Amino acid sequence: MKKTLNLLMSTLAVCLAMPAAAQFAKPEDAIKYRKAAFTVMSTHFGRVGAMVNGRAPFDAKAAAENAELAATMSKLHWTAFGEGTDKGETRAKPEVWKDNAKFKEAAEKMQVEVGKLASTAKGGNLDAIKTAFGPAAASCKSCHDNFRKD
Ligand code: HEC
């Protein structure tokens, strides 16, 4: 049992360490992947948002779970913006690649803010969650304004 587990862990470590480019066979796959990751992240983030805006009743456990899922998802997109993924079924602007440092900065900012939201949500206090939600939502919008076509 322990051996199997060790093997699993080392396989996982190898997979995680693979270079980003090797993770997708075709640029279309990367585009599909990142759009799916955005959709899943947005769904869980939006469920917290609905409680924050009073559109859904506050449920501390659901808020914490959804915020945690959003935070996990917020880590996944970035390897899928590799070379050659600027064309096709995508709304990403060329600035993603032209101004990649700024794009990465915006991605990191969002990860930090959504991470803060997730740790705040564990506390189960709606007012604190409301305070953390604002900057997280703003970090989505500011990147979309600069790097996503409408
Ligand atoms: C660093 C930049 C950046 C940040 C931060 C960001 N996004 Fe996006 N988002 C993009 C880009 C670029 C696309 C377009 C992806 C594509 O079409 O290839 C996108 C697409 C999306 C989509 C559409 C996915 C689809 O199926 O086409 C949703 C929904 C979304 N983002 C939600 C969010 C939410 C919610 C947040 C914040 C929690 C967020 N995004 C933060 C850059 C960002």
Q: DSSP string of 38-105?
A: HHHHHHHHHHHHHHHTTSS---HHHHHHHHHHHHHHTTTGGGGS-TT-SSSS--B-THHHHTHHHHHH
Range of the domain at 140: 26-147
pLDDT surpassing 80 at residue 69: yes
Task: Give residue 1's pLDDT.
Answer: 64
How many structural domains is the chain composed of? 1
Task: Give residue 23's pLDDT.
Answer: 82
Q: What is the atom index within ligand 1 of the atom nearest the CA of 113?
A: 38
Distance in Å, CA 38 to ligand 1 centroid: 5
Q: What is the mean pLDDT of the chain?
A: 91
The CATH code of the domain that includes 101 is 1.20.120.10
Q: Does ligand 1 come within 6 angstroms of the Cβ of 85?
A: no
Question: Looking at the domain assignment, is residue 30 inside a domain?
Answer: yes
**Residues in the chain, overall count:** 150
Question: Looking at the domain assignment, is residue 16 inside a domain?
Answer: no
Question: Looking at the domain assignment, is residue 12 inside a domain?
Answer: no
pLDDT surpassing 80 at residue 139: yes
Question: Looking at the domain assignment, is residue 34 inside a domain?
Answer: yes
Least reliable range by pLDDT among 20-29, 31-40, 50-59, 108-117: 20-29
Average pLDDT over every residue of 58-79: 96
